[in-house]
Amino acid sequence: MKKTWLTFAVVTTMLVVVTFFSIVNGSLEIGVAELIRGLLFGGNEDVEVIKDMRFPRIIVSLFAGANLAVSGLLLQAVMRNPLAEAGIIGISSGANFVALTMISFFPTLFFWMPLFAFLGGILACFLVYSFSWKSGLSPLRLILVGVAVNAVFTALYESFNYRGYTTTSSAKATASTLSQQTWDDVQTIVIYGSIGLILSLLVYSWCNMLALQDKTARNLGLHVTRARVIISAIAVYLASVTTATVGVIAFVGLLIPHIGRLLVGSDYKILTPFSILSGALLILTADTIGRVFLAPTELPASIIMSLIGGPFLIILIRRSDRIYGG
Amino acid sequence: MEVKNVSFSYNQKEDQLKSINLAVEPGKITTIIGPNGCGKSTLLEVMSSHNAPQKGQIILDGKLIQQYKPKELAKKLSVVHQKNEIPFDINVENLVSYGRMPYKRFFHHHNSEEDEEVIDWALSITNLQSKRKEKVEQLSGGERQRVWIAMALAQKTPILFLDEPTTYLDVYYQFEILELIKKLNREYNITIVMVLHDMNQAIRYSDWIIVMKNGEIVTEGSPKEVITEGMIESIYGVRAIVNHNDQSGFYVVPMGVARRNDNAT
């Protein structure tokens, strides 16, 4: 328990530090005192630029990270699979494809983009479930089906893009960079994201019971199918809302829950808030590294994520015996 | 609890259970035996509402089992499965406290005083008080089985099902578990329905034995009536001597294969 509190304290502190670091650093540098004065009294042009350009980007990064981390965590709970993650099993690419296709055909419906993304995510999730379900979920079959669904949606999206129906919005999503975020994006991801995150915090006891075994969970009075559908829906929702705002970012949903299990254990009551905090921290850090240290050029957070994610996944697999019993 | 004319199939082609009729007598230990693949575990699954029968009815306290809400049923009937998955870092106390889930509303997750008392009770009956902070994964097989029994006990149900509770255990733990089951039945009046493989254990610990083969109940009755040399040969294809002596009571000594058992799967 002591270790858990310490971990939370460290993550929260780092989150605050990185957020401040991210605000004051970049192509435009500013002192903390100057920043606070500018924010309070106005009249500082640099601070205005930071407010318009950097703040949205930071807030979107934080929520994108939290959403994707929790989405992965919940998918792993319902699919009983340590590899389940929105980016890997096709939910993000499904959301991306459907949202951008709809927007290309009906640009006036731009406001509904998160909804279309959600429908796309649900479609992908449904496909993965129905093709991999055979009187139970086999972890291997699920991942293989998920990878296939992901490949198809990615290909669909790319071929679509290739034929030149590109809009400005889809260009943004392909690069899946966190730059060019506006306060409108902030509004979308904060409102939709918060709803999803709050819901995710409410279902922890279901997630805990699903970790036992379907039969055992049912014996304990859990409505297993209903719980699974609701938790999946929350996970897909979080991933879709995020994809609609920032495009596809892989690996957060995989890395964070696994780090969480190593650091704070398998209880979802603790694991979910941990994932929210550290997911936010991870994406913000990745984006800040890409933005600050490589200035004047920028590297998208998704690329930095993959650079960190690849090696980490390998380490994880080497260590996974302890947690997943081989 | 009554099972009326129940048929069940996993694949719609072949029935794993064929017109099963039985009544579970309250306050007794009922044991189901039979060769591998005869449908014992399937019967337990259907009786605990994991699988809905294609035909027939299962009635618990005057109500069809499908009509129970999951939580309601979880207060009437608990099940200890043969195989269980354990979160890698959960401790004994926390796992046993899951048994209180049927008594909790959605937003009330902390244990009430009553919950704590029941958890304590379940831990002391299963002799796990001293292990309550230990990780379940690090316990021995026998201790782990007791943890699952304790979790089922925390549900405070009048009926307890156990699917092969002694499989995978060495002989000491087997008897420890069986003695525990007997105590639960005799002292706390919990109705027990279990699946066992060992005929001598079934004789020793059951009030009533149900013999299954190929998805059907072949015979049932008290151990003495049911366990006969003829039954063992026809059901298992094994020659056996059924004997009695004053020290051990009634016992079975399997002697060897009588004929090839073509029906075994």
Identify the residue among B69, B82, B83, B85 best suited for mutation to test binding to A, counting A beta carbons within 10 A and taking the highest: B85
Residues of A in contact with B49 (CB under 8 A): 218
Q: Decide: A100 and A166 in contact? Cβ < 8 Å.
A: no
Lowest mean pLDDT among A100-114, A173-187, A256-270, B66-80: A173-187
Fill in the amino acid letter for A54: R
Band the pLDDT of B262: cuts 50, 70, 90: low
Band the pLDDT of A176: cuts 50, 70, 90: low
pLDDT at position A101 is 87
Band the pLDDT of A278: cuts 50, 70, 90: very high
Fill in the amino acid letter for A17: V
pLDDT at position B263 is 53
* Rounded-to-integer distance, Cα B221 and Cα B227, Å: 9
Lowest mean pLDDT among B29-43, B95-109, B209-223: B95-109
Residues of B in contact with A213 (CB under 8 A): 81, 83-85
Q: Decide: B159 and B78 in contact? Cβ < 8 Å.
A: yes
Q: Decide: B154 and B119 in contact? Cβ < 8 Å.
A: yes
Band the pLDDT of A320: cuts 50, 70, 90: low
> What one-character DSSP code corresponds to residue A133?
B
Fill in the amino acid letter for B222: S
Q: How much is the average pLDDT of A85-108?
A: 89
Of B82, B182, B92, which Cα lies nearest the Cα of B137?
B92
Does the bond joining A296 to the residue before it have cis omega, within 30 degrees of 0? Answer: yes
If one counts the domains in chain A, the total is 1
Question: Do the chains contact at B81 and A215, CB–CB below 8 Å?
Answer: yes
Residue A325 in domain: no
- Which token pair is A257? 């829950």
- Tell me if residue B56 falls in helix, strand or coil: strand
Q: Decide: B214 and B14 in contact? Cβ < 8 Å.
A: no
Q: Decide: B65 and B34 in contact? Cβ < 8 Å.
A: no
**CATH architecture for the domain at B1-76+158-173+184-230:** 3-Layer(aba) Sandwich (3.40)
Identify the residue among B101, B104, B137 best suited for mutation to test binding to A, counting A beta carbons within 10 A and taking the highest: B101
ipTM of the complex: 0.88
The minimum CA-CA distance between A322 and chain B, rounded to whole Å, is 8
Distance of CA B220 to the CA centre of its chain: 17
pLDDT tens digits for range A209-264: 999 888 899 999 999 989 999 999 999 999 999 988 888 888 889 889 988 988 88
Give residues with Cβ within 8 angstroms of B164, minimum separation 6: B41, B82, B194, B195, B196, B197
Phi, psi of B55 (to 5 degrees): -135, 155
| DSSP-derived pairing of the beta strands B208-213 and B29-33 | parallel
Global pTM value: 0.88
More confident residue, A315 or B34: B34
DSSP A158-200: HHHHHTT---HHHHHHHHT-STT--HHHHHHHHHHHHHHHHHH
More confident residue, A229 or B258: A229
- Tell me if residue B201 falls in helix, strand or coil: helix
Q: Is B13 exposed, middle or buried (0-12, 13-18, 19+ CB in 10 A)?
A: exposed
* Rounded-to-integer distance, Cα A71 and Cα A87, Å: 10
pLDDT tens digits for range B202-255: 999 999 999 999 999 999 999 999 999 999 999 999 999 999 888 888 899 988
Q: What stretch of H or E contains A31?
A: none
- Which token pair is B59? 């009635």
Question: Do the chains contact at B45 and A215, CB–CB below 8 Å?
Answer: yes
> What one-character DSSP code corresponds to residue B265?
-
Q: Decide: B125 and B153 in contact? Cβ < 8 Å.
A: yes
Long-range contacts of range A142-145, CB-CB < 8 Å, 24 or more positions apart? A142/A79, A142/A81, A142/A84, A142/A89, A143/A81, A143/A83, A143/A84, A143/A88, A143/A89, A145/A89
pLDDT at position A169 is 43
- Tell me if residue A27 falls in helix, strand or coil: coil
* Rounded-to-integer distance, Cα B98 and Cα A205, Å: 9
Q: Which residues of A touch B (CB under 8 A)?
A: 135, 202, 205, 208-209, 211-213, 215-216, 218-223, 261, 265-267, 269, 322-325
Band the pLDDT of B101: cuts 50, 70, 90: very high
- Upper half-sphere CA count for residue A281 (Cβ side, 13 Å): 21
Of B259, B258, B250, B256, which Cα lies nearest the Cα of B227?
B250
Domain containing residue A221: CATH number: 1.10.3470.10
Residue A296 in domain: yes
Question: Do the chains contact at A222 and B70, CB–CB below 8 Å?
Answer: yes
Q: What stretch of H or E contains A265?
A: none
Distances (CA, A) of A170 to A293, B111, B127: 27, 50, 63
Domains of chain B: which residue ranges? 1-76+158-173+184-230, 85-156
Distances (CA, A) of A107 to A115, A160, A179, A186, B82: 14, 16, 22, 20, 57
Residue A95 in domain: yes
Distances (CA, A) of A45 to A39, A192, A296: 11, 31, 20
Q: Decide: B46 and B58 in contact? Cβ < 8 Å.
A: yes
pLDDT of residue B265 exceeding 70, the answer is no
Interface contact B88, partner A, CB < 8 A:
yes
Residue tagged 């001598």 (tokens)? B200
More confident residue, A305 or A177: A305
What is the number of CB-based contacts under 8 A between chain A and chain B? 71
Question: Do the chains contact at A219 and B79, CB–CB below 8 Å?
Answer: yes
pLDDT of residue A165 exceeding 60, the answer is no
Of B66, B122, B132, B82, which Cα lies nearest the Cα of B99?
B122
Phi, psi of B192 (to 5 degrees): -115, 135
Q: Is B61 left (phi over 0), alpha (psi -120 to 50) or beta?
A: left
pLDDT at position B260 is 56
Residue A13 in domain: yes
* Rounded-to-integer distance, Cα B217 and Cα B21, Å: 8
pLDDT of residue A44 exceeding 50, the answer is yes
Lowest mean pLDDT among A300-309, B7-16, B26-35: A300-309
The C-alpha torsion from B208 through B212 and B217 to B220, rounded to 10°, is -20
- Upper half-sphere CA count for residue B5 (Cβ side, 13 Å): 2
Identify the residue among A220, A268, A270 best suited for mutation to test binding to B, counting B beta carbons within 10 A and taking the highest: A220
Interface contact B12, partner A, CB < 8 A:
no
Q: How much is the average pLDDT of A25-41?
A: 82
Question: Do the chains contact at B101 and A212, CB–CB below 8 Å?
Answer: no
pLDDT of residue A168 exceeding 50, the answer is no
Range of the domain at A49: 2-319
The minimum CA-CA distance between A214 and chain B, rounded to whole Å, is 9
Question: Do the chains contact at B88 and A218, CB–CB below 8 Å?
Answer: no
Q: What's the Rg (C-alpha) of chain A?
A: 20
- Tell me if residue B169 falls in helix, strand or coil: coil
Residue tagged 């998805």 (tokens)? B215
Phi, psi of B220 (to 5 degrees): -150, 160
pLDDT at position A172 is 41
pLDDT of residue A59 exceeding 60, the answer is yes
pLDDT of residue B65 exceeding 60, the answer is yes
Give residues with Cβ within 8 angstroms of A315, minimum separation 6: none
pLDDT tens digits for range B142-182: 999 999 999 999 999 999 999 999 988 999 999 999 999 99
pLDDT at position A171 is 42
